[in-house]
Structure 1
Amino acid sequence: MVVCSMEYDVCRNERLSCRARKLLDQEIEFISNPCFGDANLESEIPGDFATSSMGAWVDPGQGASSSGGSTTISRLCRADVLSAEEEKKLFRSFNFLKYKANQYRSQLDPDWVTEDQLELIEQLLHRAQLVRDEILRRNMRLVASIVKKCTTTGVSFDELFSDGCLTMLKAIDKFDYSRGFRFSTYAYHAISNFAYRKIANRKKERAKYKQLPPEQSMEETGAVKNPLMGTDTWDELSELLNQSIDTLDEREQLIVKSRFALGKHRKTLTFQKLADQLGISKERVRQLEQRAVAKLKAVTQGTRLELIRDLVCD
């Protein structure tokens, strides 16, 4: 019995030590302020926020045609805009909580750490995350208003909105409220600059795609036949694809045809080969393939096309 108790204590200490090391490896960035030395400041920090709505993110892979996407965005944009004083308090709370977490973290010794020490730091970081989400929630309307002006045929509103939210999160981390100007000014430039860069890059990608010879994607050296797909299956998928291909943009069509051997010569291309052709990263090709397949599945639910993920040649 004593041995079991000792083993339990050893395992528990190892778990605590592991948690402590993860916290020590995690960089806690915050914007410092002289008021953080005020002993009474902590009592002014709000305790919690109703941020459950933040769980409903818009997946950029769903596209503008996804059911419920616009409704979700509309719901997220209903929050009241922050007043100058509310904004100041939230950013002060956000950075102060991370400041305190970093302060306690600097005192950690992974070999001699208690559960209470770790829970205190983790709770402070969790509260900071809630404040961050609240700032984002209250600025959703700003994101929507910016990306609505930037939407083009090559980049959907949903995609820009999702990217805009991620850009705003980064802006929240870097914003210094003590300089006296509003966060909306800072965020507006960050989001609009990102959106215009994305649109410009997308235009370059589309231009490069149009310069490719018609059957280059199927004729490239290094393309391999798809041995997993019989003639009947290939014919069926080809027919389904032709019926639903208009739901994809030109680049997605190229990727789907190349990846699933649905072209004239029944050959597949690797992610790297497509990345080289389109002038984008290998991971970006993978993401575009996933988005395209999600669109096709949505419009061909219950058909053989649902099996397409099992037929990919990586």
Structure 2
Amino acid sequence: MIQAVASHDPQSPSTLHRFSRFSGADGQVWEQTKRLMAADITYIPSETFERSYTGEAAQVDAILGSLEESSGSIPRNLPPHLAALCGYRLLDASEESLLFREMNFLKYRAARIRASVDPSDPHPDLVITALRALDRASLIRDSLIRTNIRLAVSIARRFSDSPCSFDELLSEAIFVLMYSVEKFDSGRGFRFSTYAYRAISRHLYRMVTETARQESRMTRDAEDWAFEETLVAGSSPPAERFWTQLRGNLNDFLQKLDRRERFVVRCRYALGNHRTVKT
């Protein structure tokens, strides 16, 4: 996958010196120019951008305006706030391809305009045009994410019997979904759902596997308390019974905590293999 990245360093001494001369009425131009120069513009290039493609604003507006017309099949038993995220309808192949192409074209256009802007003497119209292109690209990106939220929910539910909570799984799934929208190349002829499904599934599988490994290790450590070091050879039976009962009580207490809380307690009080107190 080929990606184009256009960026500037707004904190460099030369850039700050050029911006420092703006004041008063030029302050807004300075802020807009600084925002444009600081933007991280990453897009999937296409030969059509340089030859004939000029954008499909009218068609894109029609698609974006129709996304909430039908909620489609919303996953069952979702909390209201999650059900609301799944309210956008699904896109067909042509709509999806058009939105991705338009999003990347707008970023390409903004990058080209920024390359022609002189930070020491910016043209306000050019700066505003570039920022509007970036804002519209962000709107399309957010819409693409919303139309695929239910895919993230569906994949997260398939791992619901893992040690991870559903909220953790869904949070990671949405994060990967957002990343996938930025990296997907629609020109290769595949549907985005195919690309995102594999990316999210792989990420959650690695996450669940690592969590299960940590859980297994902590379970094995449950019998190995720091207190056992006090059980020296020759201890009296009452002392042994006392420490055995104490260890049992601590085990019962820890089982009432969730995975993260158990980990924090063990690290804080140097229990099990966590011999060093971590504050």
1:108 matched to 2:117: yes
* Matching residue within 24, 37, 43 for 1:30: 43
| Residue of structure 2 equivalent to 1:46 | 60
Pick closer, same or farther for the CA change 1:215–1:31 going to 2, 3 Å: same
- Structure 1 or 2, whichever has the larger Rg, is 2
| Residue of structure 2 equivalent to 1:87 | 96
Q: Distance in 2 between matches of 1:183 and 1:21?
A: 34
Asked if 2 retains the 8 angstrom alpha-carbon contact of 1:69 and 1:158, the reply is no
Pick closer, same or farther for the CA change 1:129–1:269 going to 2, 3 Å: farther
> Once the 2 structures are TM-superposed, how far is the Cα of residue 138 of structure 1 from its aligned partner?
0.8
Letter matched to residue 29 of structure 1: T
Which digits, 9 at most, give the CA deviation of each residue in 1:43-88, with x for residues without a partner?
446359479x9xxxxxxxxxxxxxx972222222232211011111
Gaps of 5+ in 1: 1-6, 54-67, 220-241, 272-314
Q: How does 1:166-181 map to 2 (within 5 A)?
A: 166-181=175-190
Pick closer, same or farther for the CA change 1:88–1:257 going to 2, 3 Å: same
Pick closer, same or farther for the CA change 1:270–1:69 going to 2, 3 Å: farther
Asked if 1 retains the 8 angstrom alpha-carbon contact of 2:32 and 2:128, the reply is no
Letter matched to residue 37 of structure 2: L
Q: Provide the secondary structure at the position in 2 that maps to 1:29.
A: strand
Asked if 2 retains the 8 angstrom alpha-carbon contact of 1:76 and 1:140, the reply is yes
Q: How does 1:280-291 map to 2 (within 5 A)?
A: none
Asked if 1 retains the 8 angstrom alpha-carbon contact of 2:254 and 2:262, the reply is no
Asked if 2 retains the 8 angstrom alpha-carbon contact of 1:154 and 1:203, the reply is yes
Q: How does 1:187-206 map to 2 (within 5 A)?
A: 187-206=196-215
Q: Distance in 2 between matches of 1:155 and 1:13?
A: 52
Asked if 1 retains the 8 angstrom alpha-carbon contact of 2:22 and 2:30, the reply is no
Letter matched to residue 219 of structure 2: K
Letter matched to residue 43 of structure 2: F
1:142 matched to 2:151: yes
Q: How does 1:252-291 map to 2 (within 5 A)?
A: 252-255=261-264, 269-270=277-278
Q: Provide the secondary structure at the position in 2 that maps to 1:46.
A: helix
Number of matched pairs: 221
Q: Distance in 2 between matches of 1:161 and 1:250?
A: 18
Q: Provide the secondary structure at the position in 2 that maps to 1:178.
A: helix
Asked if 1 retains the 8 angstrom alpha-carbon contact of 2:104 and 2:137, the reply is yes
Q: Distance in 2 between matches of 1:206 and 1:164?
A: 21
Which digits, 9 at most, give the CA deviation of each residue in 1:241-300, with x for residues without a partner?
x99983x413323315755x7x9xxxx9545xxxxxxxxxxxxxxxxxxxxxxxxxxxxx
Percent identity among equivalent residues?
Answer: 31
| Residue of structure 2 equivalent to 1:184 | 193
Q: Looking at both structures, which has the greater relative contact order when contacts are Cα pairs under 8 Å and sequence separation is at least 6? A: 1
**RMSD after superposition:** 3.6
Q: Provide the secondary structure at the position in 2 that maps to 1:136.
A: helix
Which digits, 9 at most, give the CA deviation of each residue in 1:82-125, with x for residues without a partner?
10111111111111111111111111211111443332222211
> Once the 2 structures are TM-superposed, how far is the Cα of residue 15 of structure 1 from its aligned partner?
6.1
Q: Provide the secondary structure at the position in 2 that maps to 1:116.
A: helix
* Matching residue within 138, 144, 155 for 2:164: 155
| Residue of structure 2 equivalent to 1:303 | none
